[in-house]
Structures are given as C-alpha cells and as structure tokens.
Amino acid sequence: MLALNHYNCSASPLLPRFSNDSAGKVEARVAVEVLSQQGNLTSPLQPTTSGVIVVILSMTLGIISNIVALFILANAYSLQRRRTKATFLLFATSLVVTDFIGHVIPGALVLRLYLSGGVHPENFNSSDRMCQFLGGSMVFFGLCPLFMGSAMAAERCLGVTKPLLHSSLVTKTRTKICLSAIWLAALCVAMLPCFQLGSYAYQDPGTWCFIKVLSDTQEVDVAFVALFSSLGLTSLAVALVCNTISGLTLVLARLRRKPGSHHSAKSHDIEMVVQLVGIMVTSCICWSPLLIFGLMSVIRSYTGTIAEDLSSYKTLMVMGVRLATWNQILDPWVYILLRRTVLRKIYLIAKCQAGLRGNIMVRWEPTSFPSTEKNQVKQV
C-alpha cells in the first residue's frame, strides 16, 4: 500500500490515479487510450545513420557517373562531323546535365533533412518553402528526362525512316528551341502549386517532399497527380513506339542490304537506337512504379479507402522514389557502356569465345579423326 501510494504521488500527469470506484476505472481506460494513440503517432520510422550513408553514397556515385558521361559526350561532340549525330549528342548532353543537376539539388536537400532528424509525422501535411522547392524539384527533374527521352526517340525515328525530311527539318537551332520548350513545360507543371493547383507535402519518413497523395487530398491534388503521371507515362509510351519503329526499320534495312555493301551511316544509327533503347528501359524500370503508385495512392486517399492500407502505400511511395533516384545514376552509364567502341569490343570478345568453343567442338567431331583403314591405305 505504501508503495502504491508513493507510485500514485510521483506518477506522471498522463498516468491515471487508480481508485476502487468506477470513475477511477474510466480514468484508467481513457489514459491508456491516450498513451496508445501517442505511441501510434510516433510509430513511423525516423531517419537513421544508415540512411544518411546511403544518401551520401548514392550522391557520390551519381556525381561521378554524370561527370564521366559528360566528358565522353563532350569529346564525342567535338569530334563529330555528321549533323544527325551532333543533334543526338546535343540532346544527350542536355539530358546528362539535367540528370546531374537533378541529382545534386534534391539530394542535398534530402541529406539536410536526414541530418536534421527529419520532419515529425504531425507536420507531414504542412509545407514550408523548403518543401515547396524540394517537391517542385522532384517534379521538374522527373519530367525533364522523360520528355527528353521521348523527344530523342522521335528525332531518331524521323532520321531513320525519313532521312531527307529529317535533314531539312532538324537543325541545331530547332533542337535548342525544343530543349527550351521541354524545360519550360516541366517548369510550368512543377509550379502549379504556386497557383493553388495542387500542393506539396512531406512524405514518410519525413525526409523528402512530393505531391500530396496520402492524406487530406483534394480534387486539385488528384488532378495534379493525374497530370504528372499521365505526362510521364505518355512520354514512356511515345519513346517505346518510336524506338520500336526505328529498330524494325534498321533490322529490315540490314536484311535487305547486299553482301558486299557497307553503310557507315547505318552503324551510327544502330548505335544511337541502342542507346535510346537503354534510356527507355532504364526510365521505364525507374519511373513507372512512382508514376503508378502515386496515381493509385491519391485516388484511394481521395475516395477514403486508403486507411486500412496506409502503411503499405507509404512503403510503395518510398520504394518508388528510390527507384526514380536511380534513373539519374543509371542514365549516364547508358552512354558510357553502349558506345560503338565498347559494343565492338564486346562483340569481338564474344566472337572469340564462340570461335574457341567451335574449335574445341571440331577437334572432338568424329569426322576430324581419320579412320584406321584410311591410315593403312596411306601407309601402303
């Protein structure tokens, strides 16, 4: 009894004062419910040291990859004499520069949030200037590579299928105008929340910002996410169609080519289409999950059916944004590894390995060993 009285006197104000009457039992139950609700509010994972290390390593890898790709593209652009190849390299260089800036700026802001411990879950729906800038950067640097990938695929499709029309329409000046239009369009979409057409909010675990998709969503939020996802998925679809047409055209031209003829221009086209296919595959793998998960989340949040699966959708959004971040790391390696010189070396190595295996098989073929009867005849 003395111990119980001492416990009651020194207990926290949040804990109940136990008594024998029914009112004391009601107080106890209310206090337990309050404590359980507070525990649920603090249940989301907080940023950890391992998360900081992962952010630093990914930023370092992305910076190194983009710098190496920029050096290779700048060297190729200075040595290139063909106008079609120069146009492609101008697109590619702009894409790598955009990926580089889009990797450094959001990455630095995310690292800052990690080092500061992140935003408390109670403030996830709030949006300060930093969140506005980070969310706008995510949208802008997400749409730009997708738009550029589809524009590059369309340019190559025109160059492969209609070379004369391509030579008359596509120039460096028009290419620069097209790039400016792409950056301007992505900027306009990213700035829609400034005109109350959508909103940005902190996302779990409080270290990054994106379009509000999980709670307190309005009609403008649904429209904003639908616009972002539809633009991204449409860009991927355009790139898929154009690259498919270009690839089939080059394959048919290869099959129709005479045995003794040689077309150096076709080898350049093949190299560019192979690189575009690599960009398209990388973008599809890295960006499709975030585009689809974001649209699914905002629809379920708006209709009020996300409550039972809220933790699952939070996990899906985190996975989606991590995959999207890897797009800016993998894009430069498309130009580093899928160059004609590298592909030729890989082809020669594979051919040599196939030749060695063929020689080994020939040595063990029955026809390679003369029969004993033939040896006897030769000896006679």
What pLDDT does residue 123 have?
A: 66
Q: What ranges in 116-218 are assigned the alpha helix state H?
A: 129-161, 163-169, 172-190
What pLDDT does residue 256 have?
A: 78
pLDDT in tens, 280-321: 999 999 999 999 998 988 888 888 887 777 888 888 888 888
| Residue numbers in the chain where pLDDT is lower than 50 | 1-45, 361-362, 364-380
What pLDDT does residue 83 have?
A: 63
Phi, psi of 202 (to 5 degrees): -65, 145
Type and span of the H or E element at 301: helix 264-303
d(C-alpha 373, C-alpha 220), whole Å: 91
What pLDDT does residue 36 have?
A: 40
Q: What is the pTM (predicted TM-score) of this model?
A: 0.75
Residue 159 burial (CB < 10 Å; 0-12/13-18/19+)? buried
What pLDDT does residue 117 have?
A: 77
d(C-alpha 219, C-alpha 246), whole Å: 40
What pLDDT does residue 1 have?
A: 43
What letters, b where the CB count within 10 A reaches 16 and e where it falls short, cover 322-339? ebbbbbbbbbbebbeebb
pLDDT in tens, 19-49: 444 444 444 443 434 434 443 433 444 556 6
Question: Which CATH superfamily includes the segment(s) 49-255+266-358?
Answer: Rhodopsin 7-helix transmembrane proteins (1.20.1070.10)
The domain ranges of the chain are 49-255+266-358
